[in-house]
Homo-oligomer: A and B are copies of this chain.
Amino acid sequence: MPNIFRSCYQIIFKFCFTPLPFYNVFYSFPCKFPLRCILCDDMYKIVLSNLTFPFIYSLQKNGLFSGQQLIIFTSQDAHYSVEKLAMFMGFGSESVCKIETDQYGKMDIGDLETKVKHYINKGARPLMVSATAGTTVLGAFDDLNCVADICEKYNMWFHTDAAWGGGALITNKYRHLLNGIERSDSVTWNPHKMLIASQQCSTFLTRHKDILTNCHSTNATYLFQKDKFYDTSFDTGDKHIQCGRRADVYKFWFMWKAKGTNGLAEHVNQAFKMSEYITELIRERPGFELVLEKPECTNISFWYIPPSIRNMERGDLFNQKLNAVAPKIKEGMIKKGSMMITYQPLRELPNFFRLVLQSSNLTKDDMKYFLDEIEALGCNL
């Protein structure tokens, strides 16, 4: 089984991260947030900065108590797990600094640098930037090269949350969306998302050899005996935080064997193709309006504006009425049992639909059906 892990990840590296050597892997991790690992890398950096040796393991041994505040930067459109896990891991929500996004949902790099400087001046230590490749709502890709530059300049860990958008790496047509990912210190990529491996199948990749072992190992003697007759370096369990859980990478392995790289690429290309098609339909159809004129990923965000308010002046009252439309249509589709498309507000924007295409079995007819059905359920509101 460890051989499968290794070759599975070697394939990922070969196709997606060449020529970067990504050494260590982590699978079946329940979240997207590698903070513990980062802490340890931070320790390595401290060594490199010629600080005294006893300080190296200080955080791992003594925890965060009485230490300098460590700050995590991520965009305001990043997944909520960044803040949730920061709370869980003792950093506190106040240690997560949210960076503004531009009109496309991308991290504002100027704002990032300003805020990094602000915290340095306050005496805190900027620890990492968690960039997002494919945000949850708008499907935006942060400019990874720009984030990498800032991380290098201020000596921060560079993490890329490609849980959703990582699937685009598999296809030559769309992998440019993730340019710069090869500079990441760590990457999360969930094959259960865009590649539709069966739930759950998450990967965590880092190019820092042995870092996970050094961070998480507790050498429990009842599990990780060294006096075995085979090479115990294959017993990799001690380097992650879980014990006795599913080896989810198996699913990915079998899927890859069955579909091949080309098959996975075709799957992704088809989902993108349909998302581009429905974007076109929405653009041309009266009563429909796009949130992003040119979505980068397969997330299509749009409003349906019923005839009753279609000619209203845009403003607070219009937004208030529009805000009630999507929940009402959603109620209709659920009760009828016809389809399920999520909706939500975003900052000052009223509720809009967010269609996210993952299936490559969807056809042009399906795309038309989505819009027809929304119109049928909402035209009298």
Contacts and interface: CB of A to CB of B under 8 A. Distances in A.
Contacts of A324: 227
Given A65-B67, A327-B228, A241 B36 contact: no
Given A216-B87, A241-B85, A59 B221 contact: no
A245 B90 contact: no
Interface size class of A (residues with CB under 8 A): 35 or more
A200 B246 contact: yes
A90 B342 CA distance: 36
Contacts of A218: 80, 83-84, 87
A245 B327 contact: no
B200 A88 contact: no
A152 interface: no
Interface stretch (A14-22, A92-100, A311-319): A92-100
A220 interface: yes
Report which residue of A63, A199, A351 has the largest number of chain B beta carbons within 10 angstroms of its beta carbon.
A63
A354 interface: yes
Contacts of A91: 63-65, 90
B80 A342 contact: no
A64 B61 contact: no
Interface string A48-88: 00000000000111111111111000000001110111111
A47 interface: no
Contact of A227 (B31, B93, B351): B351
Contacts of A95: 62-63, 65
Contacts of A216: 84, 87-88
A280 interface: no
Contacts of A79: 243
A89 interface: yes
Interface string A26-53: 0000110000100100000000000000
A229 B326 CA distance: 12
A342 B244 CA distance: 15
Given A31-B242, A200-B246, A327-B229, A62 B94 contact: yes
A331 B137 CA distance: 53
A68 B344 CA distance: 41
Given A84-B241, A225-B344, A228-B327, A89 B89 contact: yes
A229 B331 contact: yes
Nearest to A226: B327
Contacts of A200: 244-246
Interface in A222-269: 222-223, 225, 227-229, 241-246
10 contacts: A60-B92, A63-B87, A65-B92, A84-B216, A84-B241, A88-B216, A90-B90, A221-B344, A223-B344, A225-B343
8 closest A-B pairs by beta carbon, nearest first, are A90-B90, A63-B92, A80-B220, A64-B64, A229-B331, A64-B90, A222-B344, A62-B92
Given A61-B93, A80-B223, 10 more contacts: A30-B30, A62-B94, A63-B95, A64-B64, A65-B69, A65-B91, A80-B218, A80-B243, A200-B245, A200-B246
Interface of A: 30-31, 36, 39, 59-70, 79-81, 83-95, 136-137, 192, 199-200, 215-216, 218, 220-223, 225, 227-229, 241-246, 324, 327, 330-331, 334, 342-346, 351, 354
